Structure 1
Amino acid sequence: MVVVVVLIVDFVRRHPYWSATLVLVAVASVVALLSVRARQRERQRAEQAERDRAVAVTDTMTGAEFEQWFARLLEASEFRHVHVRGGSGDRGADVTATAPDGRRVVVQCKRQSLTNRVGSAAIQRFAGTCREVHGGELCMIVTNGFFTAGDGVRLAQQLGIVLVDRGLLETWAWTGTPPSSLLGR
């Protein structure tokens, strides 16, 4: 190692212009490489965002993939501190975030087949944990499908739980603007 350093120092002393040229070429190469990688990452993010605009992509996802997809949608909609918490033991909080207005958001994601609806039992379970266990100020159940009409929907309205079904989710994904019920309007 010492021999290499001595050789480099000797070369720099005898050839200062070549040394400077080699350093400039090396720095320019590194900058060019970093620039290309940054453009590739940005292009990949843009392509992912374009794919994410179509709710139909969620129909073939797993539940965990749907949670990640929804987390990206929240981030794109200016929600901050977005964390995917899903999995066993999540106690109903698949995604947590901070809304643009500062409220703590707790989300239960329900990836469903189009023929299977989210029912009253799922709404009741989430109602029991969102605020008391997770400290949610804005509680939301999101599905790529639909909710069953009836008691569960009425209970959600009564408890201030926002239900986002496929129609609302599709509009949100396409426009990047959350439903007005999430914005306090």
Structure 2
Amino acid sequence: MAGGRGTEGLGASELVLVGGALVVAVALVYRVSGWPYALAALVVGVLGGAAWFAVRTDRRVRAADHEWRAEDAVAAGRRTLDELDAMTGTQFEEHVADLCRRDGCTEVRRVGGAGDNGADVRGRMPDGRTMVVQCKRYAPKAAIPARDLRELRGAQVHFGADVAILVTTSRFTRQSTAFAVDNGIIAIHRDFLGLWNNGTRLPVLAALNGAGQGDRRHRERWKRTYDDR
């Protein structure tokens, strides 16, 4: 994991502003009441300024910590597609679960295995909707048939989930893509999976559902690339 990032303190202009305000305040108190009150005002001002500085610094540190942790989570999720191809089915399911958590999904757990009723990962989307995820670690040159989408639709009904997602290391046929779009199933194919690994958020991919697999030439290049795998 990458190291935490520091944060800068107050800028020079901010320090000048705070110091100037304190001097003016003390001068006014001295003009009206004399040294004892001016000294008291100075002490109160210093303590107040120190407290304000501490709160401001703490907020900046927390903001910077949140930022680098988010970036670190993206970096940790980055894996080449070849690495995903080499995973076992269980490892791939765990990886997909981790990507969901990274993007703000909650109550995420891997449930794949014997008797999973068509669900490999379950949880909630960042907006609170329940989700069921099916993971298909197929060979890159393979294609997801429509029947796999129909099975996932059945799992969605079985679990009463608001959202169904199918994630694969391969691609979808035209029929399966159409079924996914018509039934509101989020279809994450190999191209989208590469984007997801590299930091694109799940809600963004969901908005692009049904796209991204390219034209006929793209599919031909895909086939040539993976023919020997």
Q: Which residue of 2 aligns with 1:24?
A: none
CA contact (8 A) 1:110 1:144 kept: yes
CA contact (8 A) 1:76 1:176 kept: no
1:147 aligned onto 2:172: yes
TM normalised by structure 2 equals 0.55
Higher Rg: 2
1:62 aligned onto 2:88: yes
For the residues of structure 2 that align with 1:82 and 1:59, how far apart are their CA atoms?
23
For the residues of structure 1 that align with 2:123 and 2:73, how far apart are their CA atoms?
24
Tell me by how many angstroms 1:57 deviates: 1.3
CA contact (8 A) 1:147 1:165 kept: yes
TM normalised by structure 1 equals 0.67
Q: Which residue of 2 aligns with 1:75?
A: 101
Tell me by how many angstroms 1:48 deviates: 10
**More relative contact order, 1 or 2 (CA 8 Å, 6+ apart):** 1
Question: CA 1:184–1:104 in 2, change beyond 3 Å: closer, same or farther?
Answer: farther
User: What percent identity do the matched residue pairs reach?
Assistant: 30
For the residues of structure 1 that align with 2:97 and 2:171, how far apart are their CA atoms?
19
Name stretches of at least 5 consecutive residues in structure 1 with no aligned partner. Answer: 1-45
Q: For residue 116 of structure 2, what is the amino acid of its counterpart? A: D
Q: Which residue of 1 aligns with 2:110?
A: 84
For the residues of structure 1 that align with 2:182 and 2:73, how far apart are their CA atoms?
40
Q: Which residue of 2 aligns with 1:138?
A: 163
After TM superposition, the structure 1 = structure 2 runs for residues 154-165 of structure 1, keeping only pairs within 5 Å, are 154-165=178-189
Q: For residue 135 of structure 1, what is the amino acid of its counterpart? A: G
Post-superposition Cα deviations, 1:88-138, rounded to whole Å, max 9, x if no partner, equal 1111110011111111011000001112111111111111221x2111111
SS in structure 2 opposite 1:140? strand
For the residues of structure 1 that align with 2:73 and 2:196, how far apart are their CA atoms?
18
Q: How many equivalent pairs are there?
A: 138
Candidates 184, 189, 192, aligned match of 1:168: 192
Name stretches of at least 5 consecutive residues in structure 2 with no aligned partner. Answer: 1-71, 210-229
